[in-house]
Amino acid sequence: MRNAYVDQFPAEAKVIKAAFWSSFLALAIGGSLGLLQALHRTDVLRIMEAPDYYTVLTAHGVLLAITFTIFFLVGIFTWGVTTSLDRGLVDLRFTWGWYAMMVVGTVLVGVSILGGVVDAIPMNADVLFTFYAPLQPHPAFYVGLVLFVVGTWLAGADWFRTWLAWRSDNPDERIPLPTFMALTTTLFWYLCTLGVALSILLLLLPWSLGIVDSVNPLLTRTLFWYFGHAVVYFWLMPAYMLWYVMLPKLSGGKLFSDPLARVVFVLFLLLSTPTGIHHQYLDPGIAEGYKFIAMTNTMFLLLPSLLTAFTVVASMEHGARQRGGTGYLGWLKALPWRDPVFTGMALAGLMFAAAGFSGMINAGMNINYLVHNTWWIVGHFHLTVGTAVALTFMAAAYWFIPQVTGKELWNRSLGLVQVLVWFVGMTFMSNAMHRSGLFGVPRRTAEPQYENFAFEPAAGSMGEINAQVALGATLLTVSLALFLLNMVMTSLGGSSDEIPDNTYAETLSGPEDAPVVLDNLKLWTAIATVLVIFAYTLPLASIIDAGGLFGPGIDGFQLAIEAGPAFVLESVREVIA
Amino acid sequence: MRISKGALLVVIAVLIPFIVEFRTALSWFGIEISVLESLVLGAVVVLAIVIWAVWPPNGDAEAEPTGSS
Amino acid sequence: MNIHTYEKAWLVAAMVLIVGFMATITYGAVGPGIAMIDDDGGTIDPAEINDHERFGEPGVEHVGDDEYEVAVVAQAWSYTPEQIEVPADSEVTFYVTSRDVTHSFSVVGTNVNTMVIPGQISEMTVRFDEPGEYGILCNEYCGEYHHTMEGKLNVVPEDEFDLTELSVDAPSEVEAGNETTITANVSNGMQEDLETTVALEIGDQGSERDVTVPGDGSEEVEFTVDSAELGEGDHDWTVTVDDYEETGTLTVVNATDGGDGSAASGGDGDA
């Protein structure tokens, strides 16, 4: 008797399937645009005008960092909550409601960005993922973002009410680990999105509609990063969840420690938000002390990630030894390397370790000056969100799509090749990006070729760096195509009885070893709130005090000038003269 | 086979960054090797690993892990 | 809570690593004195940049001893000034602000790197130990032609650095037999007095004048030119002060010709 997720929760499986396909669609579009950019930047193939690069970059950033990751997240968390509580969602109409809201939000944002290259759409949102005012998008861009975020809030409410319903039936039980993870993640998501939602609704949207005529760019920027760093943990947490609850089982063993997994997620709840100012080490108008506080919090965030590295590797070793592995390192041979789900997640974890090292450099307040806004940063986050998250999600899809459709994976070997090609492609691309950042090559730049100077690599040449990036991006696109092919072919296939049961990893040290206080979500939320107040009240107060809530008459700019740069430069010079 | 085909593929994939960066590392010591030489070197190392992997293990000290899951 | 021994060891090692990182950075701030961009620069209304005491006339200013201040205005898609020259081994404080959107001011290959946010003034003090040439670029997206935004920073040896400017006022033609005047204006942006020599060469004649230009001031030097000695025709002239040179042409015309207007332009401009 088959006991896959679709057999246990057929209605929820439909929602999850819809969320996954929304996510894959964003991945397909955003990923392909990535190739276009990589080839343009490296001057291998330029099929678009330089200004269009920024439209494409906006779409790439928003579709991959927000749409792809978060649609997948809501699918995974819905799976985790329902599976671990062993009960369905309270009201499926509500569930479809938040899903629809997220879709509408995405479409609004997508169309407004598309307006940057399609003349028929009278919109423009060439503001990149960070939408720093006074660059000004069409109001639809802001409205879409808000709808999307509110959709995720309702998704969180859905998981909470399901948990509360379960709680009334099971008053004395510990919160099952996957649910615990989903709930703590949702809590810090509420905390951090509050900042950007207020920023958009009270400051940016009225400004873009012409209701108020000015913004304070430093204020909206600070409110963006109030959300902007926590969001990276938001999309990382489902990957962590999979590493904790899936990877040990795939390795053939059990999770090393349930209590420490809880500690890790509590630490993320506490520290995700009061770190955002570390993206603003180079910003004027923020005193050094506030930057130092953000750095301290950031450095302590290394702790849960280092703990995760230990637990995940220990769990894998445990699994390998259950499978007959021996020796100090010989057990590695006993791991199920032919399984794309395992191999993809393991390689994603390996690359995340590398990303951790470059992240430590970024977090260092003084070393950051060398790499801030260089291509190094892009290399860093292509290892984190672009591999630790994306590769884990793709690998997980090889397990989840059969679970939610009841159809067997079309081609497992192709899946293995796909995750390996991603790993190799990302190695080339992110390594070259990191290296070029060290000698000052900027990020977010369509054609980084300057008239007054040339970049001087410490080793190798700029041409070599560009070749590695172009090669890497091409391999990544091939990998992406293989993934999508496998997903489509799987969905076209027939129902199968060979689907494994829907379970997750058991633990060596279970929740009974974890202090009950770890499950006290109110307490942790209260402490997290206090930390946020501590980290943000004074900086925000001083920014508002110095520049005003709305700034000194700063208009919006849509820097798209028909006449080209020469004309603008000339007129600017006239103003100066 | 000493290791499974899947593990062999993974080993080769993980080897690639080392081969790429070996060239960079050498240049720090003033040793410049061309891309072609680097490729040849990589091919030799990969070949050696493949031969090691498919060579029948001498003795039966270790059970042969199949790597299937 | 039940924690495995290895995990405890790992936990301790992780904490040591974290505290170690913070210690090195704290040392960097306290020991070698690596300062962060902070709120010292203050705020500014972008609409009033042109009237601002510092940004109204952006550029390099000598403020005493080996201390210099550089005011830079960033706008889509250029810096004003585009070329900056500062002496090596001196304390240079940059003040940067933006006229429109968020930019950066990043000296390539160094840690001189700051965001430039409208309404804010970024202030940072640096010392370049060695002379060299650096590119300046904007690494924050600032609109369609963001990638064309660049500048240049030349760090010159301390003894070769000055803030001397030369401008020359000269007529383009003079009637034969008349005298005329070529006026050199030498300004000195340094705080100390500048002792130098202004030289004029015209035709095959030359004259030199020693001047002392006061600190943060300027001096005018007049050269009287007698057209009778030059004779009719075009005469190229050159005024030099140290490394600065200004050239032009003086045409001596016969009064009866009434001037044929063929004279080349007189020199008038900054060195």
Contact residues on chain A for B27, CB-CB shorter than 8 A: 459-460
Q: What's the pLDDT tens digit per position in A31-57?
A: 999 999 999 999 999 999 999 999 999
In a domain, B66, yes or no: no
Question: Given a cut of 70, is residue A569 above it in pLDDT?
Answer: no
Q: How confident is the model at residue A405 (pLDDT cuts 50, 70, 90)?
A: very high
- Residue A259: which of C1, C114, C139 has the nearest Cβ? C1
Structure-model confidence comparison of residues A554 and A395, the more confident one: A395
Instruction: Return the H-helix or E-strand segment holding A542.
Output: helix A521-547
Catalytic residue numbers of A, as ranges: 229, 233, 380-382, 443-444
In a domain, B64, yes or no: no
Q: Which chains touch C (3 or more CB pairs under 8 A)?
A: A
DSSP chain C: ----HHHHHHHHHHHHHHHHHHHHHHHHHHSS--PPP-GGG-B--GGGGGG-TTTSS-EEEEEETTEEEEEEEEETTEEESSEEEEETTSEEEEEEEESSS-EEEEETTSS-EEEE-TTB-EEEEEE-SS-EEEEEE--S--STTGGG-EEEEEEE-GGG---EEEEEE--SEEETT-EEEEEEEEEE-SSS-EEEEEEEEETTEEEEEEEEEPTTEEEEEEEEEEHHHH-SEEEEEEEEETTEEEEEEEEEE-GGGT--S-PPPPP-SB-
Count of domains for chain B: 1
Its domain, for residue B37, covers 5-54
In a domain, B15, yes or no: yes
What residue ranges of chain C have pLDDT lower than 70?
Answer: 255-271
ipTM score for this prediction: 0.89
What per-residue confidence (pLDDT) applies to C15?
Answer: 94
Domains of chain C with bracketed CATH: 39-160 (2.60.40.420), 164-257 (2.60.40.10)
Least confident interval from A94-103, A114-123, A344-353, A531-540: A114-123
Question: Given a cut of 80, is residue A264 above it in pLDDT?
Answer: yes
**Nearest residue on chain A to C29, alpha-carbon basis:** A366
Q: How confident is the model at residue A553 (pLDDT cuts 50, 70, 90)?
A: confident
Q: What's the pLDDT tens digit per position in A309-344?
A: 998 899 999 999 999 999 999 899 999 999 999 999
A234 in contact with B, Cβ within 8 Å: no
CB-count burial class (<10 Å; 0-12, 13-18, 19+) for A182: buried
Smallest CA–CA distance, residue A417 to chain B, in Å, is: 8
Q: What is the mean pLDDT of chain A?
A: 92
Whether C120 sits inside 8 A of A443 (CB atoms) is no
Q: How confident is the model at residue A559 (pLDDT cuts 50, 70, 90)?
A: low
What per-residue confidence (pLDDT) applies to B28?
Answer: 80
What per-residue confidence (pLDDT) applies to C256?
Answer: 63
In a domain, B27, yes or no: yes
Q: Where are the domains of chain A?
A: 1-173
What residue ranges of chain B have pLDDT lower than 50?
Answer: 60-69
Among C residues 92-111, those touching chain A with beta carbons less than 8 Å apart: 99-102, 104, 106, 108-111
What per-residue confidence (pLDDT) applies to C255?
Answer: 67
Among A residues 416-445, those touching chain C with beta carbons less than 8 Å apart: 439-440, 442-445
Mean pLDDT of A140-165: 97
Whether A336 sits inside 8 A of B67 (CB atoms) is yes
In a domain, B68, yes or no: no
Mean pLDDT of A291-304: 92
Smallest CA–CA distance, residue B52 to chain A, in Å, is: 14
Q: What's the pLDDT tens digit per position in A189-223?
A: 999 999 999 999 999 999 999 899 899 999 999 99
Q: What's the pLDDT tens digit per position in C116-160?
A: 999 999 999 999 999 999 999 999 999 999 999 999 999 999 988
What per-residue confidence (pLDDT) applies to B29?
Answer: 85
Mean pLDDT of A245-261: 93
